């Protein structure tokens, strides 16, 4: 869960800090959930082990960070490589069942999540672990009269940069073009000579890398604990449901919305807090009546063609 | 073996199992009896999962939602209103059904893996809500001290694991019998037809979405009854009873059981829950690892997707008895849980031939 916010001194505008927290939380969710969106949109795999990939990054951060900048970079590298490797491994495990139904694939990824979670608990113990962020960031800065955790402020910047890079990668590179094409029509991409197995491997590896990066950088916000994987998976799923598969922008907006609901919403309406995510899902699904976006409608059986 | 002979074999096997289920409390110790009661409860949730996954074509990971709603609803009734079993079971059904009805708009417009995702979110959000809404649900501590149940008005309160087990067995039996009977009416046929060829059903003027909404609500009511029985069986309820792992285990059990058959769902769920309990007793702390391995292994072992397993068995039996096998084989591809959204190119050739017959796996 969220680490406690920095002590707030001075005149307190009660909603500024939660709102800022919501941005940090939302950007973290964006980086974590975008991997899930890729898996689902491109390879059409519901990856229930996605939260575990995040947890690998978070545990890496807890194990390696010692308060210095060098170790932050090392942890980032190790975490990204480890999670990307785990994603690649998952792609390998999925290869034999690639032509089976979605249910089989989802159950397989859930098995991997169960086993992976168990291995992480065996390796790191059943308690939630503290994460030591670089000493220079371990303080507060004054922001419009409020004290705010420096790390979160920096995190907002870094995550925004990541989001921008991701957007550019999807919009401007050849790999991004393939991703967009595969979301649109995977069969056509395969007919054009792109091997679906390679797409799957690539997508799961990239998803792992993104989840790993989110895990290492986000460990001070959603820290490593046995419940982390479930927690991140759930929030990422809600982001996917809210944002659809159509665009990076949709995912970003959905992630920011979930972040704000989880922090600002809880501050504004503590009694309704347990149901806010439900309500958000219901509202979005109702507004976009019968689905989440054009992309979702297309996932349904094509009635016109066969009936 | 002739079809009639096979039917007799199934009936004899079923009767044997039922006899064993009735005799269990006198054969094992009280702790095991209570474990059996909980297994029965989860088997009933498994039936509701099978209703949606196999028969309606909406693969679900979220039946823990109405299950939890029914459990908390009847726990509150048991604590504050009435200790009569009939009232509690009806409360469970009502609350579970109402919960499902409220989530209908989230689910019925989606298909396939999207449903899996949305229902998973619903189930998880329910658990989150249950653990945070402490004033009603007791938070993560749950609700304890639920008074013993009287099955009907005027009867003595049940005490002891044996009595509670038998009560659970009776209610589960009645509900399953009701579900099977409803599925034998045209309603069941409409549901299967909607799953197998939605476009054709719509073209013939059937309101498929409406059917799915009814099925979803009914499955929620079944899960709600199971929730009420859970409260009776363990006299305690907490969010831990409705976790993500429970949903996944239920789905695994249903899929092992063949997804389309109610009997298979009961057997598969019971098997999976028994394996889980056995593993956690055998290797405390490492059960999830082995269980995870079991999931992966299951995914590999079933030849054409787990949902096709029972079709394979049926085909085997049929080929032994010299029947035609082609229909069962082709029907099986669509039998499990509805349409594939997007077949991979390699399978396009294999799946373009639409099956002409109904699925061979229903029984």
Helices assigned H by DSSP within chain A: 16-42, 50-64, 69-94, 102-124, 150-172, 174-184, 186-191, 196-218, 228-243, 248-260, 266-268, 276-287, 294-299, 303-306
d(C-alpha B213, C-alpha B353), whole Å: 29
Answer yes or no: is B360 within a domain: no
Q: A77: pLDDT confidence band, cut at 50, 70 and 90?
A: very high
Q: A8: pLDDT confidence band, cut at 50, 70 and 90?
A: very low
Q: How far is CA B133 from the centre of its chain?
A: 27
- Residue B340: left (phi > 0), alpha (psi -120 to 50), or beta? beta
Q: Please name every residue paired with A143 in a beta bridge, in sequence order, or none if there are none.
A: A146
d(C-alpha A241, C-alpha A254), whole Å: 9
Answer yes or no: is B291 within a domain: yes
> A 76-95 residues with CB below 8 A of B?
93
Q: What is the pLDDT of residue B218?
A: 94
Contact B226, B70 (CB under 8 A): yes
Give chain A's mean pLDDT: 81
Residues of A in contact with B276 (CB under 8 A): none
Give the chain A residue whose CA is nearest to the CA of B286: A118
Answer yes or no: is B79 within a domain: yes
Give the chain A residue whose CA is nearest to the CA of B333: A101
Collapse the DSSP code of B173 into the 3-class scheme (helix H, G, I; strand E, B; otherwise coil) and give the result.
Answer: helix
Query: What's the average model confidence in pLDDT over B256-280?
Result: 82
Contact A230, B244 (CB under 8 A): yes
Which stretch of A293-297, B46-50, B83-87, B296-300 has the lowest confidence by average pLDDT?
A293-297
Domain span at residue B137 reads 3-351
Residue B72 has pLDDT above 90, yes or no: yes
Angle at the Cα of A224 from the Cα atoms of A267 and A66, rounded to 5 degrees:
110
B128–A274: do the CB atoms touch at under 8 Å? yes
State residue B82 phi and psi, 5-degree precision. Answer: -150, 145
A234–B118: do the CB atoms touch at under 8 Å? no
Residue with the bigger pLDDT between A107 and B92: it is B92
Q: B157: pLDDT confidence band, cut at 50, 70 and 90?
A: confident
Q: What is the pLDDT of residue B357?
A: 39
Q: B346: pLDDT confidence band, cut at 50, 70 and 90?
A: very low
Q: What is the pLDDT of residue A12?
A: 52
Q: Which residues contact B140 (CB under 8 A, 6 or more apart)?
A: B131, B238, B239, B240
**Structure confidence by residue, pLDDT tens digits, A24-48:** 999 999 999 998 888 888 877 888 8
Q: How far is B27 from chain A (nearest CA, A)?
A: 34
| Sign, Cα dihedral of B226, B231, B237, B240 | negative
Q: What is the pLDDT of residue B312?
A: 57
Q: What is the pLDDT of residue B321?
A: 53
Total domains, chain B: 1
Closest by alpha carbon to A57, among A162, A115, A129, A4? A129
Structure tokens at B315: 């085909």
Q: Which residues contact A180 (CB under 8 A, 6 or more apart)?
A: A170
Inter-helix orientation angle B161-184/B208-234, to 10°: 170
**Interior/surface letters B122-155, b for 16+ CB within 10 angstroms, e for the rest:** bbbbbbbbbbbbeeebbeeebbeebeebbbeeee
Answer yes or no: is B280 within a domain: yes
Residue with the bigger pLDDT between B276 and B223: it is B223
Q: What is the pLDDT of residue B305?
A: 41
Answer yes or no: is B363 within a domain: no
Contact A303, B194 (CB under 8 A): no
d(C-alpha B221, C-alpha A1), whole Å: 33
Which stretch of A102-111, B261-270, B313-322 has the lowest confidence by average pLDDT?
B313-322
Q: Is some CB atom of chain B closer than 8 A to the CB atom of A124?
A: no
Q: What is the pLDDT of residue B311?
A: 57
Answer yes or no: is B165 within a domain: yes
Residue B103 has pLDDT above 80, yes or no: yes
Q: What is the pLDDT of residue A6?
A: 45
Q: How far is A145 from chain B (nearest CA, A)?
A: 32
Q: What is the pLDDT of residue A240?
A: 85
Q: B69: pLDDT confidence band, cut at 50, 70 and 90?
A: very high
A303–B198: do the CB atoms touch at under 8 Å? yes
d(C-alpha B300, C-alpha A3), whole Å: 40
Q: What is the pLDDT of residue A1?
A: 39
Answer yes or no: is B362 within a domain: no
A299–B133: do the CB atoms touch at under 8 Å? no
Mutation site for A-interface testing, chosen from B299, B300, B302, B349 by largest number of A Cβ within 10 Å = B299
Structure tokens at B281: 């007793």
CATH number at residue B238: 1.10.3470
Q: What is the pLDDT of residue A79?
A: 93
B124–A234: do the CB atoms touch at under 8 Å? yes
Collapse the DSSP code of A231 into the 3-class scheme (helix H, G, I; strand E, B; otherwise coil) and give the result.
Answer: helix
Query: What's the average model confidence in pLDDT over A228-248?
Result: 83
CA distances to A17, A144, A156, A258 from A148, in Å: 7, 10, 12, 21
d(C-alpha B336, C-alpha B310), whole Å: 10
Answer yes or no: is B361 within a domain: no
**Burial grade of A132 (CB within 10 A; 0-12, 13-18, 19 or more):** middle
> A 285-304 residues with CB below 8 A of B?
285-286, 290-291, 296, 299-301, 303
- DSSP 8-state code for residue A222: B
Give the chain B residue whose CA is nearest to the CA of A114: B292
Of chain A, the percentage scoring pLDDT greater than 90 comes to 23
Which stretch of A204-213, B6-15, B45-54, B127-136 has the lowest confidence by average pLDDT?
B6-15
DSSP B224-263: HHHHHHHHHHHS-B-GGGG-HHHHHHHHHHHHHTTSS-HH
Closest by alpha carbon to A163, among A37, A2, A16? A37
> A 138-197 residues with CB below 8 A of B?
186-187, 190-191, 196
Interface predicted TM-score of the whole assembly (ipTM), two decimals: 0.74
Mutation site for A-interface testing, chosen from B272, B295, B298, B308 by largest number of A Cβ within 10 Å = B295
Q: What is the pLDDT of residue B175?
A: 93
The torsion of the CA quartet B96, B100, B102, B108, rounded to 10 degrees, works out to -170
Residues of A in contact with B129 (CB under 8 A): 274-275, 278
d(C-alpha A267, C-alpha A17), whole Å: 10
Domains of chain A: 16-306 (1.10.3470)
Residue with the bigger pLDDT between A246 and B11: it is B11
**Interior/surface letters B193-218, b for 16+ CB within 10 angstroms, e for the rest:** bbbbbbbbbeeeeeebeebbbbbbbb
Q: A133: pLDDT confidence band, cut at 50, 70 and 90?
A: confident
A122–B286: do the CB atoms touch at under 8 Å? yes
Residues of B in contact with A293 (CB under 8 A): none
Q: What is the pLDDT of residue B317?
A: 57
d(C-alpha B205, C-alpha B17), whole Å: 43
Q: Is some CB atom of chain B closer than 8 A to the CB atom of A232?
A: no
């Amino acid at each position: 869960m969220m680490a406690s916010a920095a002590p707030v001194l001075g005149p307190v505008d009660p909603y500024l800090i939660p709102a800022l927290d919501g941005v940090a939380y939302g950007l973290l969710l964006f980086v974590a959930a975008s991997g899930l969106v890729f898996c689902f949109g491109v390879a059409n795999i519901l990856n229930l082990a996605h939260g575990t990939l995040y947890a690998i990054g978070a545990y890496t951060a807890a194990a390696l960070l010692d308060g210095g900048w060098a170790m932050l970079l090392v942890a980032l590298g190790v975490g990204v490589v480890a999670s990307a490797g785990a994603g690649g491994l998952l792609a390998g495990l999925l290869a034999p069942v690639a032509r089976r139904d979605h249910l089989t694939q989802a159950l397989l990824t859930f098995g991997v999540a169960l086993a992976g979670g168990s291995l992480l608990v065996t390796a790191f113990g059943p308690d939630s672990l503290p994460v030591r962020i670089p000493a220079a960031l371990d303080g507060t800065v004054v922001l419009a009269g409020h004290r705010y955790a420096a790390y979160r402020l920096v995190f907002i910047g870094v995550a925004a940069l990541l989001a921008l890079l991701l957007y550019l990668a999807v919009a401007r590179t050849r790999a991004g073009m393939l991703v967009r094409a595969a979301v649109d029509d995977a069969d056509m991409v395969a007919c054009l000579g792109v091997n679906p197995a390679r797409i799957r491997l690539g997508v799961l590896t990239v998803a792992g890398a993104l989840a790993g990066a989110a895990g290492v950088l986000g460990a001070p916000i959603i820290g490593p604990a046995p419940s982390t994987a479930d927690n991140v998976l759930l929030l990422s799923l809600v982001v996917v449901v809210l944002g659809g598969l159509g665009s990076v922008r949709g995912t970003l907006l959905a992630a920011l919305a979930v972040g704000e609901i989880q922090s600002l919403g809880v501050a504004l309406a503590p009694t309704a807090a347990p149901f806010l995510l439900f309500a958000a899902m219901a509202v979005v699904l109702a507004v976009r009546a019968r689905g989440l976006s054009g992309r979702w409608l297309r996932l349904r059986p094509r009635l016109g063609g066969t009936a | 073996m002739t079809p009639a002979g096979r039917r007799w074999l199934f009936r004899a096997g079923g009767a044997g199992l039922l006899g064993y289920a009735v005799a269990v409390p006198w054969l094992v110790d009280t702790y095991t009896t209570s474990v059996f009661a909980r297994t029965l409860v989860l088997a009933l949730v498994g039936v509701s999962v099978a209703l949606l996954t196999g028969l309606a074509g909406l693969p679900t990971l979220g039946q823990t939602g109405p299950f939890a709603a029914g459990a908390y609803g009847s726990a509150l009734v048991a604590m504050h209103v009435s200790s009569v079993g009939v009232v509690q079971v009806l409360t469970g059904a009502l609350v579970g059904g109402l919960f499902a009805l409220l989530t209908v708009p989230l689910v019925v417009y989606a298909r396939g893996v999207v449903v899996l995702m949305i229902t998973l979110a619903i189930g998880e959000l329910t658990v989150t809500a249950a653990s945070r809404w402490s004033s009603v649900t007791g938070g993560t501590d749950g609700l304890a001290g639920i008074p013993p149940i009287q099955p009907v008005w005027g009867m003595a309160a049940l005490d002891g694991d044996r009595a509670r087990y038998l009560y659970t067995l009776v209610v589960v039996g009645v509900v399953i019998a009701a579900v099977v009977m409803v599925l034998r009416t045209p309603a069941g046929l409409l549901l299967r037809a909607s799953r197998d060829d939605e476009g054709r059903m719509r073209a013939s003027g059937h309101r498929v979405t409406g059917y799915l909404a009814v099925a979803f609500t009914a499955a929620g009511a079944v899960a709600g009854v199971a929730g009420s029985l859970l409260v009776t069986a363990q006299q305690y309820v907490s969010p831990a009873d409705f976790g993500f792992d429970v949903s996944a285990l239920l789905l695994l059990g249903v899929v092992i059981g063949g997804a389309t058959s109610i009997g298979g769902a009961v057997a598969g769920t019971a098997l999976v829950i028994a394996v889980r309990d056995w593993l956690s007793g055998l290797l405390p702390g490492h059960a999830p690892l082995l269980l995870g391995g079991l999931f992966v292994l299951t995914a590999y072992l079933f030849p054409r997707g787990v949902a096709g397993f029972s079709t394979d068995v049926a085909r085997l039996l049929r080929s032994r008895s010299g029947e035609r096998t082609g229909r069962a084989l082709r029907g099986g591809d669509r039998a499990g849980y509805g349409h594939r959204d997007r077949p991979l190119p390699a399978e396009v050739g294999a799946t373009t031939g639409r099956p002409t017959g109904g699925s061979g796996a229903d029984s």
